[in-house]
Structure 1
C-alpha cells in the first residue's frame, strides 16, 4: 500500500473514530447535560433525565428514566423513550421518524379548583411565551411518525372542582398510532387499550387527523364502576351512589373543523347493579340490569335514537312527606328561571322499542293523617315508536300488581303534542280499602273490604279543557263499609255489576247496574238525626270555588237480588228495629236531567218471614214531584210496631200480624193514598201514657171490628200537602188505626202435660239459665216433643212469651252489657290507632281496663271517679267502678227486654229451623221482664191457641 493510500485510510479511520466518539459518547453526554440544564431552568419542579444515547449511523435516539416532579412522586415520567429519525427529514420539510416508542410512562394530572391543570404549571414561561405557544398550537410543527407507540403506561387523574374530588387511574395503557402526522389532510390509524378502575377495560380503534382535529372509530368500555366519577353527578343531583357498573361500545365520529361535531352510531350500553340512595341513606332506586342497543347520537342535530331498551328488576321508593314534598322532588335540581332563555332547538328523542320487566315501585304517602303504603310490583312497561319530535302516536303497554293482590294494565297509544291517550285499561281485584286514607277527611267510614274489577276504553284528547271519553264496565265485589263512629256495618254487598259505563263531557251514564245481596243500615237517633248524616264531615267553605254545572247522571236500570235492610228508630221508647230481607227486583231509568218517572218493582221479606211487594213509578231525583207506588206487606209481626202503637194508640201490641196493601200517589207535592189494612189475631197489651195517642176506646174498637175469624179488615185513605211542614203522615195513619183498633182478645194457654207420647213433662215453660238465651238439652227436648204434637194438630198455633227476671237476670245482663261496652271501646281504640292490640291475649288487656272503666263510670253516673278511690289498689278501685256501673244497668228494662227477646227468638228459630215447625204457626209475643224464678232458672211461657 502506498504512503498516500495509507494516509487516506488513516484519515478515514480517524474521521470515523472521531465521528463515533462524538456521536456515541461526546454529543450524548453534552446533550444530556444541556437537556438537564434546560429542564432545570424551564421546568418549575425538580426534573432529571438519567441517560441519553444516540446512534450516529442509524440515527436512533434513546432517553432513559425521565422524572419531572418531586423525587419518588413525579408528575410526569417515563422509563424509556426510543426514536428512530429518518434522514429524509433533511429535505422533506418535516420531522420524520420511523418509530417513536415511550415505555412505562406515568402522568399525574390534577385539575385544580380554579380549573387550571397542574401540567400547565410545569414550564417556566418567559414574557411573551404564551402568545408564542398559542401561535405554535394554531400551526403545529410538521411531524410524521410511521409508528408511534405508548407501552405499559399509567395515568392518574384527579379533579378537585367537584365537592368531592374525582380520582381515577388508568393502568396498562398501550397505544399504537400508525402514520401519525400533524400535516393537514393526513390521517393516522389509532389503537388504544387500557385498564381502568376495578379491572375495567377501555379500547379504542379507529383513525385520527390533526389538521383539522378529527377522529373516527370504535370505543368500548367494559366493567367500569361509576363510583369514581359520581361526584360529577352528585353536584348536580343530590344522590348517593352505592353501586353501579357500566359497559358500553359504540362507533364514533368527531370533527372540530368548525363547530364541535360528534356522532355516535351502533351504540350499546349495559348498566348493572345500579343502586342510589338519598344523602341520609334512604333507598331511592336499585336496578339489576339495563341494556340499550342500536343507539345513535347526533350532537349537531340534537338527536338521540335508542333502537332497543331492555331493563329488569328495578326497585324504586317514592314517598310524600307530611309537608307535601316528594322525596325525589327534594333531590332533583329546581328549575332555573332564566329571564332570557337561549333559543335552541329541543332534543329529538326516538325510542322504537322499550321493554321494562320485573320493576317494583314502593309508594308511601305520609301527608294524610293515616299514612298510605302502596306497592306496584311485577311492573312491566312496553314503549314502541316513541318520537318526541312528531305528533305521531306511540305504542304504550303497562302491567302491574298492586299490593301483591290487585292487577292493573293499560295498552294502547299515546302522543305528546298534543297530549292524547287511547288505552284499553283493565283492573282486577283492586282493594278499595286503599282509598281509605283519602276518604277520612270527608266521611267517618271504614272500608273493611271491597274489590274492583273493570275493563275500560279510555280516550283523552285534551287536558285544557278536559276532553275525556271513557267506555267501561265494572264490578265491585265483597264491599264492606263500617260506620266508624259506632263500629257497625253500614253498607255491604256481594257484588255490584255496572254495564255500559260511558263518561263524556261531564256526563256519566250506566246502561245497567246489578246488585247482589246488598245490605244497608239506617238509624234514626234520639235527636231525629240519622246515622248517614252523622258520617259526613263538614268542610270549610271555599270562597274561591267557582260554580260548576252538576254532572249529568243516568242509570238505565238497577237490579237488586237478595238485598237486606236494617232499620232502627231510637227516637221512640222502646226502640223500633225492623229488618227487610231477600229484597229482589228492579228500578227503572234514573236520570237527573229527565223528569220521566222510573219504574219500580221490588219484593222481599220483613223480619225474615213477612213478604213485601213494591211496584210503581217515581222520579228518583225529585220524588215529591211525581210518584205512583203500590206496596204489599204480608204477615208482619205487629210486636215490631209496638213502639208506634204506644205513641199513637196509647197501647203496646202484645201480638198480631199485619197485611198492608198501600197505594201512594204524589202529584206536584199533593198526596193521595189508600191504605188497606188487614190485622190478624191482634192482641193489645197494657195501656201506656202518650201525649200523641188518640182519646178513643181502642180495645172496644178492636172487639167490634174483628170478624168471625178474628181478623180486622179496614181501609185508611190519607190526603195531604207534602210541602206543608206541619204535615206528618205517620201520626195520621196511626191515629186512624188507633181509632179502629180498641182491644185485642187474649186467649190463655194451657199446656197438656202429655200432649205428645204420653210424656208427663211440663211443656208450658222453657227454662233458661240466668242471663242466658241459649236452649239447653232439656229445653230442646221439650220443644222437640211440643213440635211433634203441633205437627199432628195443624189447627193449633204456638205463642211464645219471652220473659226475664230482674232478680235473676239483672246483674248478669248488666255484667254482659259492661263486657260488651269494654270490648267495643277497646276495639274502637285499636281501630282508630289509639291503642295497640295485645299479641299474647284476646279481648281487653288487663292494663287497659282501668282507663275504660273510668270513661264508662263518668258516662253512666255523670260523676267523676271519687278521689278517695285513688288510694285503693288497682283491683279494688276497678271493683268499685265496676259495681257502680253495674248498678246503673242492673235494673235496665231495655237490657232485660233484649234478653227476653233473644229467648223468644231462640225458641222460634229452634222450632222452625230444627224441629220443622211452620214459621206461620209460631208467634212471638211481646216480652216481659218480671218473671218469677223456678229453682234458680227463668221461665219463658208458651201459649197454645187454635186457628
Structure 2
C-alpha cells in the first residue's frame, strides 16, 4: 500500500512539477515574449524595410498561443516632412494552434487585422514613396525554386481598413475606406487541400461600394473556385488621369456597376474561367481628345461630345475568355448619343480614332512585360459570341459636316433597335428591326420649320447575306441642301416616301465586291421644287416609282412604273450663250491631273429598263436670248407615255407624246405623236399630227442662213414618220399632208451702205423691215420623203396649192436685188459685193445688168473643199396651182425711183419630176397669166421642169403694148434723154433640150420710140437719137433679138426694167463698143471678134481665125458706115523659138519648091495662094527627113564630120537642133512679122469683097512681154 501510494505520489509530484513548469514557462513567456517581440520586430523590420518600425503594446497569451500587437507603425522615408506613419495598424491579432508543432507548419486558428491605414504616394515617372522598401524586399526574397511553405489558416479577417493614395502625377488623391477581407479557411496542407476556401472582399473606394465573395480549392490538384463580385456606382472620374495621354478619346464621366460570378477551374491539362452576371455602365460621356483642351475656344463652342449614353447593360450567361466563347443574354443600350463629324479635309472623327498611334505611355507608370507576354500568348482563334438580344432605346445620332457650305447638320432622333439571334461569326442570320426620326441637327439653318422624317427598318443579316426592309415617311429633300450646294446654287424642296428592300450578298469571287441591290416597292416624291430665291426653276407635283430594282454590281436599274405628274420647268439660254443649268452648277475646283500609266478601261454603261412611263400635265417655258432676237415659246399640256422602255434591249418601245405650243398671245398649236421608238439603234416611227405650229418662233436660229424676219408661219403636218439610225447612216421615211398658213416675212438683209462694214462689225443691220413675202396658204398634199444611205433621196408631193401670195422685190441703190440677200453671203463675198456696189460713180452711166450679174457671181454658192457630190435626189411634184398672186417691184438704182407691179397672177403647173420615166416627157405644162403695171397683158406658156439637171424647158413669154413713158427714169439715168412716147412688146422663147443644147429667141419690138430733149444734169449723155436712126427701120420700128439675162422663173427677171436697160445698153454699145453688138448679132465674144490670133512665130491664119473674120466681114458689109483698122503685134521674148522653127519650116518648104523646079514639077510643089499669108506648100512626114537633110547640107555653119573629112550623117533631131541654133530672131524680124500679120488680115478681109478704102493698116508693134499676151492682130472699128 505504501509502495503504491508512493508510486502514485511520485506521478502526482511529477504532474505537479510539470504543471508548475508549464505555468512558469507561460509566466516567463507572458512576461518575456511581448518585449522580445516588440524589440526584435522593431529591430529586424526596421533593418529589412529601411524604415523605422514601431509597435505599441504587445500582448501574448502563451496558454492559448494568442498574440496581439497594438499600434504597429512604419515610418515614412527619411527627409519627408509628413510625420504621419506610412503604415499604421491599430491591432494585429494571431491565434496559433499547438498542432502547428505537430505538423511542422503554421496552423493559425485566427488572424485579425483591425483598422489598418496605408498612405501611398505616386511621385511620378513610375516611382512611389515605398520604392526603397520594395527594393529591399526584392533582395531578401527567397531563392527561386524553394519549396513552398505549408500552412493552414482559419478565420483570416481584415476590418476597418483604409488607404490614402496620393498621385502627384495627376494631382489626385484616392480614398479607400471600409476595407473588409475575410477568409474563413485556407490551407495547402495535403490533408486539407480539398477544403473549400471562401474569401470575401468589400470596400468603398472614393465613395463607391465594392463587395465580393468566393469559394475555391486553390491548393488542390484540381483547382476550382467560384467568386462573386458586386460593384455599385463606381465613378471613374478620379481614375481618368491614368488613361494614356495620347488616346484619341477622353472619357469624361461614367458610373460602373457589376454583379458578376466567376467560376475558375484549373487542372494540369486545362484551365477554365467562366463569367456570368451583369455589367452596367451609366452616365457615360466620351469626348474627342482635343475637345477638352483650352487651345481652341471656338472648338469648345461646338458640342465636343463624341459619345454618351444613359445606360449600357450587358447580361452574361456564360463567358469563357480562355476558350474565346461568350454566351450573352442581352445587350441593352439606353439613351445613346453619337456625334459624327467630318472636318473640312474630309476626315471623319470616328475614322481618325482608328489611326495607329505611337505606343501608349501610361502616366502612372510603365506597364510590365507580363501583360504583353500574355497578349502574345493568346490564341489566334476568333471569338465565338452568341447574343440573344440586342436592344437600343431612345438613341440619337448627330451628323455634322464641316466640308460643306453651309455646314450640314443632320440628326437621327428616337433611334430604336432590336436584334436577336446574333452569333459571331455571323454564320446564321440575325434578325433586327428598328426606327428613327430624321430631322435637321441642332444649329442647322433652315428657311422654314422642317418636320422630322420617320425611318423604319427590319431584316436579317449574316456574314454571307443581309437584307433589310426600309420605310421612309415624309423625308424632306431639303436635308440634302448643304451637299447639293457644293455643286449647284438652287435650293431643292420636296418630300420622299419610300418602301425599300436592301439586299447584300457576298460575291463567290473574293476578288470582286459584294453584290448590292436596292428594291423599291414604292417610291414617291411630292412637291419637288428647284428654286432660287423666290423664283421657281423647275418643279414636279408628284413623281412615283413602283417596283424598282437597283443592282449596283450589274449596274442595272429596273422600274415597273414611273409616273410624273405636272412637271414644270423654265428652260433658257442667256445672251452669253450659257444655258440656265450652267449658272446653277458651281465650277469645280481645278486639280492637278492625275497621271496613269495604264489606259483606263471604259466604264460599263448602266442598263435601264422601265415597263411603264407616264408623264402628265407638263409645262415648259423656253427662252433663248443667245440669238439676235430672243426665242420664246411655251409648252403646255405636255404628256408622255412609254411602254417597255429599255436602254439595252434592241426592241422598240411604244411612245405617245402630245403637247400644245404657244408663242405670244396667238392660239396655241398642237403636236401629237403616237408610235414607237428604239435606242439601239436609234429608231422612231409613228403617226404625227401637228396643227398650226408657230414656226416663226424658231426663225432666229436661221438668222445666219436667211436674212428674213419671219413674222408668222403656222405649220401643220399630219402623217407618218419612220426614222432609223443604221451603221451606214440615217434612214427616214415621211408621208402625209403639210400646210403653211398665214406666212409673213420681212426683209432684214443689210443695206448696201452697211454691207461693207458687215464683215468687220459682225452685227447684222436690217433695212427697215420691208415686207418681202406673204401668203395665205401653201398646201402640200401627199408629201412623201424617203432617205437612205447609198440611195437617192426621194421627195414627192401629190398636189400643191399656193394661194393669195405676195412678193416685194426691190433693186437697191447699188443695183442689188433684195432676193439676192435672202441667203447671206460669205464674209469675203459680202465684202467684195459691197465694194463693187460702192464703186458705181454717181455721174457715170453704168450697165445695171452688169451690176446685177456681178452681184450674182459674187454671192453664188461655191462648193466647199473636200465635199463629194452625193446621189442626186429624186423629186416629184404633182399639179401646182397659183391663185391670186401679186408682185410689187421698186427700182432704187435709178433716180428718180421707179416702181411697177404684176397683179392677178393665176396659173398652174402640171406634174413634174427630177427623173424621167422611160418613154415619157419630163416637162410639165406651165400656164401663168396676169397683168403688168395694170396696162399690159402678161402671159407665160410652155413646158418646164425646174428639177432636172441640166435644165430642160420650152417656155414662151409674151408682153403686149407696155407703155414706155413711165420708164423715162431709166432712159434719163442711162442716156440723158427722157421718153416722150413709145410702146414695148416682148416675145421670149426658151428651148433647152435634155442634152444641154439651148435655143433661145428674145424678140423686142420698140414701136414709135421718141426721145425728148436732153435732161440737164443727167448722169449720162449718149447720142441715142443717132443710135435710134441707125437701128430703126423706115417704119420707126426697132426689132431687136437680144438675150435676156435670167429667166421668167427667176426672181431677178423683171420684164420692163431689165429689158429696157438692155436696150439702153444696146444703144450705147452701138456707138462706143461696136464689137459687143457684133458679138451679140453674129455669135462669139467681143474679144474673139476684135482680136485675130496667130500661132507663135507664124503669120498664117488658122481656121478659127478665118471663121471670126468671116463674121466681121459680113457685119461690115451690112453696115457700110463702118471702117476697119488692123494692127499687127509680135514679141521677141515669147516668139523667139517659135519664129526660128517657122524659119526652118520655110527653108524646108523652099527646098521642096527648089527641088520641084529642078525636077520640072513646080506647079504642084508651089500650090496656090490662100490669101492668108503665103503659098500653101505641104511637106509630108515621109518627105521631111530628105528635105531637112538637103537644107542641112546647104547651110553654112560648122558641122560634124567623119574620119575622111566629109559631112557626117546625123539623126533628124540633131540636124534640127543644129539648124535652129544657127538661125536668128531679132527685133527687126519681129516688126516684120507684126506687119506681115496685119497685111494677112487685111488681105483676107479684102478677099471677102470688102472695099480696100474701108480697110487700113495701123503701125505694127513689137509689144513688151505681158502675162496674158498672145500672138495676135488687133481690129479697131470707126464710123464714116
Partner of 1:385: 644
Shift of 1:560: 0.7
Shift of 1:92: 11
Shift of 1:85: 3.8
Query: Measured at CA, do residues 734 and 501 of structure 1 come closer, stay the same or move farther in structure 2, by a change above 3 Å?
Result: farther
Q: Report Cα offsets for 1:691-742 as digits up to 9, x if no partner.
A: 54587899x999x99xxxxxxxx9x9764556999x9965898999xxxxxx
* Aligned partner (choices 242, 246, 265) of residue 519 of structure 2: 265
Partner of 1:308: 561
Query: Measured at CA, do residues 391 and 281 of structure 1 come closer, stay the same or move farther in structure 2, by a change above 3 Å?
Result: farther
CA distance in 1, matches of 2:981, 2:373: 120
Partner of 1:502: 785
Shift of 1:393: 1.9
Shift of 1:627: 4.7
Q: More relative contact order in 1 or in 2 (CA 8 Å, sep 6+)? A: 1
1:754-765 alignment, distance < 5 Å: none
* Aligned partner (choices 483, 490, 494) of residue 244 of structure 1: 494
- Checking the alignment, whether the CA contact within 8 Å between 2:493 and 2:530 is kept in structure 1 is yes
CA distance in 2, matches of 1:124, 1:34: 29
CA distance in 2, matches of 1:509, 1:289: 45
Q: Secondary structure at the match of 1:533?
A: helix
Partner of 2:479: 228
* Aligned partner (choices 629, 636, 639) of residue 370 of structure 1: 629
Partner of 2:738: 474
Shift of 1:458: 3.3
What's the Cα RMSD here? 5.2
CA distance in 1, matches of 2:999, 2:515: 86
- 2:332 pairs with 1:101: yes
CA distance in 1, matches of 2:467, 2:541: 33
Partner of 2:286: 68
Shift of 1:218: 0.7
Bigger mean CA offset, 486-495 vs 122-131? 122-131
Partner of 1:294: 547
Shift of 1:476: 1.0
Shift of 1:666: 3.7
CA distance in 2, matches of 1:476, 1:247: 49
CA distance in 2, matches of 1:200, 1:623: 76
- 2:529 pairs with 1:275: yes
- 2:608 pairs with 1:356: no
Partner of 2:211: 26
Partner of 1:395: 654
CA distance in 2, matches of 1:120, 1:131: 28
Shift of 1:21: 11
CA distance in 1, matches of 2:378, 2:624: 63
- 2:941 pairs with 1:615: yes
Q: Secondary structure at the match of 1:435?
A: helix
1:462-541 alignment, distance < 5 Å: 462=725, 466-472=729-735, 473-484=737-748, 485-499=767-781, 500-505=783-788, 507=793, 509-511=795-797, 512-525=799-812, 527-540=814-827
- 2:488 pairs with 1:253: no
Partner of 1:584: 906
CA distance in 1, matches of 2:1043, 2:1010: 32
- 2:117 pairs with 1:117: no
Q: Secondary structure at the match of 1:265?
A: strand
Q: Secondary structure at the match of 2:547?
A: strand
Query: Measured at CA, do residues 337 and 618 of structure 1 come closer, stay the same or move farther in structure 2, by a change above 3 Å?
Result: farther
CA distance in 2, matches of 1:132, 1:95: 20
Shift of 1:192: 0.7
- Checking the alignment, whether the CA contact within 8 Å between 1:672 and 1:718 is kept in structure 2 is no
Query: Measured at CA, do residues 528 and 164 of structure 1 come closer, stay the same or move farther in structure 2, by a change above 3 Å?
Result: closer
- Checking the alignment, whether the CA contact within 8 Å between 2:232 and 2:256 is kept in structure 1 is no
Q: Report Cα offsets for 1:219-241 as digits up to 9, x if no partner.
A: 01112223333444454x44543
CA distance in 1, matches of 2:827, 2:740: 31
* Aligned partner (choices 373, 385, 397) of residue 155 of structure 1: 397
Shift of 1:303: 1.5
Query: Measured at CA, do residues 347 and 123 of structure 1 come closer, stay the same or move farther in structure 2, by a change above 3 Å?
Result: closer
1:831-870 alignment, distance < 5 Å: none
Partner of 1:549: 869
In the alignment, structure 1 segments of 5+ residues that lack a partner are 1-10, 706-713, 737-947
Query: Measured at CA, do residues 396 and 687 of structure 1 come closer, stay the same or move farther in structure 2, by a change above 3 Å?
Result: same
Q: Secondary structure at the match of 1:196?
A: strand
Query: Measured at CA, do residues 575 and 78 of structure 1 come closer, stay the same or move farther in structure 2, by a change above 3 Å?
Result: closer
- Checking the alignment, whether the CA contact within 8 Å between 1:442 and 1:538 is kept in structure 2 is no
Shift of 1:497: 1.2
Q: Report Cα offsets for 1:862-911 as digits up to 9, x if no partner.
A: xxxxxxxxxxxxxxxxxxxxxxxxxxxxxxxxxxxxxxxxxxxxxxxxxx
- 2:409 pairs with 1:167: yes
- Checking the alignment, whether the CA contact within 8 Å between 2:333 and 2:393 is kept in structure 1 is yes
Q: Secondary structure at the match of 1:286?
A: strand
Partner of 2:254: 49
Q: Report Cα offsets for 1:212-268 as digits up to 9, x if no partner.
A: 164223101112223333444454x44543423322211222234753221223432
* Aligned partner (choices 339, 342, 346) of residue 601 of structure 2: 342
Query: Measured at CA, do residues 185 and 443 of structure 1 come closer, stay the same or move farther in structure 2, by a change above 3 Å?
Result: closer
- Checking the alignment, whether the CA contact within 8 Å between 2:732 and 2:787 is kept in structure 1 is yes
Bigger radius of gyration among the two: 2
1:624-635 alignment, distance < 5 Å: 627-630=953-956
Partner of 1:208: 460
Query: Measured at CA, do residues 75 and 675 of structure 1 come closer, stay the same or move farther in structure 2, by a change above 3 Å?
Result: closer
Shift of 1:146: 2.7
Q: Report Cα offsets for 1:539-563 as digits up to 9, x if no partner.
A: 1369974334376354344211111
CA distance in 1, matches of 2:902, 2:375: 101
CA distance in 2, matches of 1:598, 1:183: 91
- Checking the alignment, whether the CA contact within 8 Å between 1:109 and 1:119 is kept in structure 2 is no
* Aligned partner (choices 396, 403, 407) of residue 670 of structure 2: 407
Q: Secondary structure at the match of 2:503?
A: strand
Q: Secondary structure at the match of 1:229?
A: helix
* Aligned partner (choices 991, 994, 1000) of residue 671 of structure 1: 1000
Shift of 1:290: 1.6
Bigger mean CA offset, 510-519 vs 359-368? 359-368
Shift of 1:401: 3.1
Q: Report Cα offsets for 1:480-514 as digits up to 9, x if no partner.
A: 11223243221110011123241425635242321
Q: Secondary structure at the match of 1:529?
A: coil
CA distance in 1, matches of 2:884, 2:595: 63
- Checking the alignment, whether the CA contact within 8 Å between 2:741 and 2:777 is kept in structure 1 is yes
Shift of 1:471: 1.6
Partner of 2:435: 193
Partner of 1:429: 692
Shift of 1:138: 10
Query: Measured at CA, do residues 332 and 593 of structure 1 come closer, stay the same or move farther in structure 2, by a change above 3 Å?
Result: farther
CA distance in 1, matches of 2:525, 2:869: 52
Q: Secondary structure at the match of 2:820?
A: helix
Q: Secondary structure at the match of 1:46?
A: strand
CA distance in 1, matches of 2:949, 2:392: 95
CA distance in 1, matches of 2:915, 2:379: 83
Shift of 1:520: 0.9
Query: Measured at CA, do residues 569 and 73 of structure 1 come closer, stay the same or move farther in structure 2, by a change above 3 Å?
Result: closer
- Checking the alignment, whether the CA contact within 8 Å between 2:231 and 2:257 is kept in structure 1 is no
Partner of 2:887: 565
Query: Measured at CA, do residues 466 and 408 of structure 1 come closer, stay the same or move farther in structure 2, by a change above 3 Å?
Result: farther
TM-score by length of 1: 0.63
Report the count of equivalent residues: 704
TM-score by length of 2: 0.48
CA distance in 1, matches of 2:527, 2:890: 63
